[in-house]
Amino acid sequence: MTEPFGATSTTDEVLAGIDLSGKRVLVTGVSAGLGVETARALVAHGAQVVGAARDLAKARAATAPVAAAAKNGASLELIELDLASLASVRKASQALVADGRTFDVVIANAGVMASPFGHTADGFETQFGTNHLGHFVFVNRIASLIAPGGRLVNVSSSGHRFADVDLDDPNFERGDYDPWQAYGRSKTANILFAVEFDRRHQARGVRATALHPGGIQTELGRHLPENALEQMLERINAELAAEGKPPFQFKTVPQGAATSVWAGVVADAADVGGKYCENCHVSAITDGLINPISEGVRSYALDAEHAKALWRKSEEMVGEVFSA
């Protein structure tokens, strides 16, 4: 990969000169933020996009300009998908399988962050159940629709550094709940899911990767207490100053969505398969104490045996077994 892309690259810069005509892409979470921008960029370059969202009315309003601008074979259609309800997940996946049309890329973008303690419709801790288990069941149920040469892109986060998954207590039934620890567990699970999905499907030419989009101000932060973001930024900037680095700057939404489209349709599949990406490149493993906005992925998030164990635990929790 020799493209000169980085933290400030936008979706349109990453896709410059790329014709996605005839490509079909599924994106979850198209009612706001990164999901809408990801869909917009793909449609603008000729792709047929299926956008999934829990609130269809909100998604229709948010993506109306995207649908209106579609031309020359590009399109945007919406489906209902509530990742916090396995009944909704199974209904949506069943409809897609019955339709039978294949996808070149699936971008698992939807999620929640640092939410108060709660449970999904099926009794799972909200963040683990929504961010991981909902996508785990949905993607596996439509895996046969990902065409050879296709890809799965899981939108994770540098927040995976907050915590490894806890396979003994995934629902915080014994431990005290911490919203950031729960978020970290779910984002680590996103990466491990990609690692094992990649292992299981690469023989048929399907690869999987995970990524951190960067720090972006979107609806994802709606659960944060007042002033929590400001306090976090103060700590981060103090650490950066001590390292002789400039203050943290948020990415724009087009910059944040750039790594998703880069990993999905630009990067070489062999380079990103089973890896973790950020700022439009594959990240190195960096264990130890580092600034939370520095680049790098924890080794536990890429551990193959750990990924297999999470897969087995996830199957046990949702009551379904998924073969390669």
Burial of 244 (0-12, 13-18, 19+ CB in 10 A): exposed
C-alpha 307/C-alpha 304 separation (Å) is 5
Residue 104, number of CB atoms within 10 A of its CB: 20
Q: Which sequence positions are flagged as catalytic? A: 156, 183, 187
210, 263 Cβ separation under 8 angstroms: no
C-alpha 80/C-alpha 155 separation (Å) is 19
Q: What is the DSSP letter of 162?
A: G
Q: What sign for the dihedral angle of Cα 56, 137, 27, 192?
A: positive
Residue with tokens 């069941």: 137
C-alpha 109/C-alpha 260 separation (Å) is 9
Q: For residue 50, give every residue at least 6 positions away whose Cβ sits within 8 Å of its Cβ, in sequence order, or none.
A: 24, 25, 26, 27, 76, 77, 78, 79, 96, 103
Residue 57, number of CB atoms within 10 A of its CB: 9
Q: Which helix (H) or strand (E) holds 104?
A: strand 103-108
Q: Return the bridge partners of 207, or none.
A: 151
**Which backbone phi and psi does 26 adopt, to 5 degrees?**
-105, 130
Residue 21, number of CB atoms within 10 A of its CB: 11
280, 4 Cβ separation under 8 angstroms: no
Q: For residue 268, give every residue at least 6 positions away whose Cβ sits within 8 Å of its Cβ, in sequence order, or none.
A: 1
CA 311 to chain centre: 17
